[in-house]
A and B are shown apart, each in its own frame.
Chain A
Amino acid sequence: MAKSLFEKAIDWGRRKSPWIIHFNAGACNGCDIEVVDAITPRFDVERFGLMLKGTPRHADVLVCTGAVTLQTRDRLKRIYEQMPDPKFVIAVGTCACSGGIFDGCYCVAGGIDAVIPVNVYVPGCAARPEAIIDAVVKLLTALENMQKGTPAAPVDDNVADVSALEEIENAVTEASAAAVHSDNQPADSATTGSQGGEE
Chain B
Amino acid sequence: MSELIAEKKALSTILEKFPFLEGKIDVQRRQRIISSPMERPLFEEVFSFVVTDGGFNCFHLVIGVDDGENLGFIYVLSNQDKVMLLLKQSAPKSNPAIKSVCATFPNALWHERELVDLFGTIVEELPEGPTYPLPDGWPAGNYPLRKEWKVEYFDKINMTYNPPATVGKEEE
Report if A and B touch in the complex (beta carbons < 8 A): yes
Which residues of A come within 8 Å of B, CB atoms?
69-71, 73, 104-110
B151 within 8 A of A: yes
Q: Are A70 and B135 in contact (CB under 8 A)?
A: yes
Docked pose: A71 CA to B137 CA in angstroms:
9
List chain A residues, Cβ under 8 A from B134: 71, 107
Docked pose: A118 CA to B144 CA in angstroms:
30
B154 within 8 A of A: yes
1/0 per residue, CB under 8 A from A, across B125-147: the answer is: 00000000011111000001000
Docked pose: A105 CA to B152 CA in angstroms:
10
Q: Which chain B residue lies CB-closest to A70?
A: B135
Specify which of A71, A104, A109 is in contact with B136 (CB 8 Å cutoff). Answer: A71
CB within 8 Å for A71 and B135 given contacts A106-B144, A109-B156 = yes
Q: Are A106 and B151 in contact (CB under 8 A)?
A: yes
B159 within 8 A of A: yes
Chain B nearest CB: distance from A115 CB in Å?
11
Q: Are A105 and B151 in contact (CB under 8 A)?
A: yes
Which of B134, B156, B159 is the most central at the interface, judged by chain A CB atoms within 10 Å of its CB? B156
Main secondary structure of the interface of A (DSSP, over half): mixed
Docked pose: A105 CA to B154 CA in angstroms:
10
Which residues of B come within 8 Å of A, CB atoms?
134-138, 144, 151, 154, 156-157, 159
List chain B residues, Cβ under 8 A from A106: 144, 151, 154, 156
Can you sample 9 A-B contacts with CB below 8 Å? A70-B138, A104-B151, A105-B151, A106-B144, A106-B151, A107-B135, A107-B144, A109-B157, A110-B156
Q: Which chain A residue lies CB-closest to B159?
A: A70
Docked pose: A70 CA to B156 CA in angstroms:
8
Chain A nearest CB: distance from B130 CB in Å?
11
List chain A residues, Cβ under 8 A from B157: 109
6 closest pairs, A vs B, by CB? A71-B135, A70-B135, A106-B151, A106-B144, A109-B156, A106-B154
Docked pose: A73 CA to B159 CA in angstroms:
12
List chain A residues, Cβ under 8 A from B156: 70, 106, 108-110
List chain A residues, Cβ under 8 A from B136: 71
Chain A nearest CB: distance from B151 CB in Å?
5
List chain B residues, Cβ under 8 A from A108: 156
List chain B residues, Cβ under 8 A from A69: 135
Q: Which chain B residue lies CB-closest to A72?
A: B135
Chain A nearest CB: distance from B134 CB in Å?
7
Chain B nearest CB: distance from A130 CB in Å?
34
Chain A nearest CB: distance from B109 CB in Å?
19
List chain B residues, Cβ under 8 A from A104: 151
Q: Which chain B residue lies CB-closest to A109?
A: B156
Q: Which chain A residue lies CB-closest to B156?
A: A109
List chain A residues, Cβ under 8 A from B151: 104-106
Chain B nearest CB: distance from A101 CB in Å?
15
Docked pose: A73 CA to B135 CA in angstroms:
10
Chain B nearest CB: distance from A28 CB in Å?
15
Chain B nearest CB: distance from A67 CB in Å?
11
Chain A nearest CB: distance from B158 CB in Å?
11
Apart from A71-B134, A107-B135: 5 A-B pairs, beta carbons within 8 A: A69-B135, A70-B159, A104-B151, A106-B156, A109-B157
